[in-house]
């Protein structure tokens, strides 16, 4: 076990934080701003072009110090070093955790089992770039000599959400005359609807699966090959199917020549894999140069996380605030609210990264935890979300810490739109913090006060949020954002004393589905509770 185990609730600081919670809640956020006009500067951090304003949170210097003490007592720095050094910190799967190595240019050696992994990483990146160049220039053509116009990434979870989110996030950088599509769901509609628009002569399939065993991906890949073979011949498959995987044997068994395979390694977790060859579809969609700029941005944040002192460390501060609200204020969920249409899939991507990593109820000694771990992460793009779930953020009974995100530079000419977008984003953070008292409602309603209606117009406020401000959403800043949240998740997992890099919780359902599948056709009898049995029988009787 490369990570030490320490129950955070047994630390000296935990009790102090519990006591401190009683004190901090005596004063509202609004009062804190009124008393300290410098608050927005005191509680802000900048890394490159990203500003984090965390002043609209329930905290003082003392809070921050206590949270930092907690991180220290939980050996955050030592464990952070263990991750970057390639120690076997994914103990339950017996692996290192080295997605950070995938974007490392500034170091010359990172070893796993005594072997420097950087040369193979750079070699694979060069292989991806060369392939992408051949597709873009048309030196690699489809089987009838036509240029590839469409790429279909077939993958699920980490082999889908990351590439899809980044491809959509970098829309202004899309290569002209090439469209990337993403098929993940085993629901046949996903594949059928996508293929309906495509021509097999000009379509390239990227089968993306770390294990090459995932039932959704393998079934979709087989159906895609069948569709292709309705027009092409077996020996044309090589021109239209490539694989991204750690499992060369199964790739070959599927019928893809391993020279058409891009590899990565078992020390890259699925949900942390977009900077590996899993990013091939991104590279095809935006070009090698922009993919490398994405990696560069990720490395900027990696170095910041690795080297900045904890009190000036952006991912650490975000992580500690999450713990502050989850473990001391009882917040069960967090909302991520990018005011950027291109980042509409960012919450869904981070949902997997965060909830698959830290949704654990057993600590590093295998003992059930007595405290809350991973928060439920959700969200959506602004301003659309304002017209759906913001009512609950403002007037619901739950405290939901929010991360707001916007860029100062728009990616279009419609400055008026951008001003309205940003005004809304900033206004929401203010409204959540300030609220609106009954007296203010009366003032605003002037003579027309209807006493029976006034209480419904009150906003209690005092609701916390962070604001992330980018100069511009581009490959580099997007890379920084992704790594920022990756390291937030790591930090929280360390403090919660859990293993963040396994995902055994997804297994049971898969095992049971495998058993139920032959029962649906009556091949084998089942033995289930009455509800499950009845559902199977009703389906069979359809
Ligand atoms: O849902 C579980 C999971 O293992 C994820 O962690 C992973 O991202 C996804 O399935 C896909 O796995 P693979 O890339 O091996 O097909």
Of 280, 246, 278, the C-alpha closest to 158 is 278
Ligand 1 center–CA 263 separation, angstroms: 16
Q: What does the pLDDT look like over 386-418, one tens digit per residue?
A: 999 999 999 999 999 999 999 999 999 999 999
Residue 447, pLDDT score: 62
Ligand 1 center–CA 268 separation, angstroms: 12
- The preferred substitution site among 163, 270, 359 for testing ligand 1, maximizing ligand atoms within 8 Å of CB, is 270
Is the CB of residue 385 below 6 angstroms from any atom belonging to ligand 1? no
Residue 111, pLDDT score: 95
Quick one: which atom of ligand 1 is closest to the CA of 161?
A: 8
Q: What does the pLDDT look like over 170-186, one tens digit per residue?
A: 999 999 999 999 999 99
Angle (CA) 246-250-252 rounded to 5° is: 105
Active site residue 387: yes
- Rounded CA gap, 278 and 242, in Å? 12
Is the CB of residue 214 below 6 angstroms from any atom belonging to ligand 1? yes
Ligand 1 center–CA 208 separation, angstroms: 10
Is the CB of residue 503 below 6 angstroms from any atom belonging to ligand 1? yes
Active site residue 356: yes
Q: What does the pLDDT look like over 245-287, one tens digit per residue?
A: 999 999 999 999 899 999 999 999 999 999 999 999 999 999 9
- Rounded CA gap, 391 and 528, in Å? 42
Quick one: which atom of ligand 1 is closest to the CA of 155?
A: 16
Ligand 1 center–CA 278 separation, angstroms: 12
For the chain, give the number of residues.
Answer: 542
Residue 218 has, within 13 A of its CA and on its CB side, a CA count of 12
Ligand 1 center–CA 351 separation, angstroms: 14
- What Å distances lie between residue 38 and 44, 90, 358, CA to CA? 11, 42, 35
Arithmetic mean of pLDDT, 303-321 = 98
Contact 78, 252 (CB under 8 A): no
Residue 523, pLDDT score: 84
pLDDT at 537 over 80: yes
Tokens 């395979």, located at residue: 261
Active site residue 210: no
- Rounded CA gap, 123 and 161, in Å? 25
Contact 251, 243 (CB under 8 A): yes
As given in the structure block, the two tokens for residue 70 are: 């907690």
Is the CB of residue 357 below 6 angstroms from any atom belonging to ligand 1? no
Residue 1, pLDDT score: 59
- Please report which helix (H) or strand (E) contains residue 203, including its range: strand 203-208
As given in the structure block, the two tokens for residue 326 are: 């989850």
């Amino acid at each position: 076990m490369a990570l030490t185990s320490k129950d955070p609730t047994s630390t000296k600081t935990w009790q102090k934080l519990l006591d401190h919670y009683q004190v901090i809640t005596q004063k509202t956020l609004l009062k804190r701003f009124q008393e300290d006009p410098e608050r927005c500067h005191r509680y802000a951090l900048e890394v490159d072009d990203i500003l984090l304003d965390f002043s609209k949170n329930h905290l003082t210097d003392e809070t921050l110090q206590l949270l930092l003490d907690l991180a220290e007592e939980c050996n955050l720095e030592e464990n952070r070093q263990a991750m970057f050094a390639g120690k076997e910190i994914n103990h339950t799967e017996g692996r290192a955790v080295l997605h950070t190595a995938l974007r490392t240019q500034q170091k010359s050696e990172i070893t796993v089992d005594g072997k420097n992994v950087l040369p193979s990483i750079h070699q694979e990146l060069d292989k991806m770039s060369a392939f992408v160049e051949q597709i873009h220039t048309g030196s690699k053509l489809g089987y009838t000599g036509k240029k590839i116009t469409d790429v279909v990434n077939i993958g699920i979870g980490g082999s889908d959400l990351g590439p899809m989110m980044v491809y959509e996030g970098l829309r202004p950088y899309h290569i002209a005359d090439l469209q990337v599509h993403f098929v993940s769901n085993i629901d046949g509609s996903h594949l059928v609807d996508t293929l309906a628009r495509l021509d097999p002569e000009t379509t390239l399939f990227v089968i993306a699966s770390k294990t090459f065993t995932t039932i959704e991906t393998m079934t979709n890949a087989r159906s895609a090959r069948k569709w292709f073979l309705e027009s092409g011949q077996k020996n044309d498959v090589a021109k239209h199917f490539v694989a991204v995987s750690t499992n060369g044997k199964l790739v070959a068994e599927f019928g893809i020549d391993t020279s058409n395979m891009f590899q990565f390694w078992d020390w890259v977790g699925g949900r942390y894999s977009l900077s590996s060859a899993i990013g091939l579809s991104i590279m095809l969609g935006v070009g090698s140069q922009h993919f490398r700029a994405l990696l560069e941005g990720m490395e900027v944040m990696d170095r910041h996380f690795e080297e900045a002192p904890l009190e000036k460390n952006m991912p650490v501060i975000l992580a500690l605030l999450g713990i502050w609200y989850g473990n001391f204020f009882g917040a069960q969920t967090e909302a991520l609210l990018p005011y950027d249409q291109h980042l509409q899939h960012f919450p869904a991507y981070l949902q997997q990264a965060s909830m698959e990593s830290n949704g654990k109820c057993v600590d590093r000694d295998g003992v059930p935890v007595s405290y809350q771990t991973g928060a439920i992460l959700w969200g959506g793009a602004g301003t659309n979300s304002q017209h759906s779930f913001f009512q609950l953020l403002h007037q619901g009974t739950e405290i939901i810490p929010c991360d707001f995100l916007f860029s100062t530079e728009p990616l279009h000419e419609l400055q008026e739109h951008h001003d309205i977008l940003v005004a809304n984003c900033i206004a929401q953070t203010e409204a959540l913090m300030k609220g609106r008292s009954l007296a203010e409602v009366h003032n605003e309603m002037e003579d027309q006060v209807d006493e029976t209606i006034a209480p419904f117009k009150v906003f209690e406020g005092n609701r916390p949020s962070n604001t992330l401000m980018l100069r511009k959403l581009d490959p580099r800043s997007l890379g920084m954002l992704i790594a920022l949240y990756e390291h937030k998740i790591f930090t929280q997992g360390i403090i919660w004393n859990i293993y963040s890099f396994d995902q055994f919780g997804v297994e049971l359902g898969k095992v049971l589905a495998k058993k139920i599948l032959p029962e649906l056709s009556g091949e084998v009898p089942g033995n289930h509770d009455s509800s499950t049995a009845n559902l199977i029988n009703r389906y069979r009787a359809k």
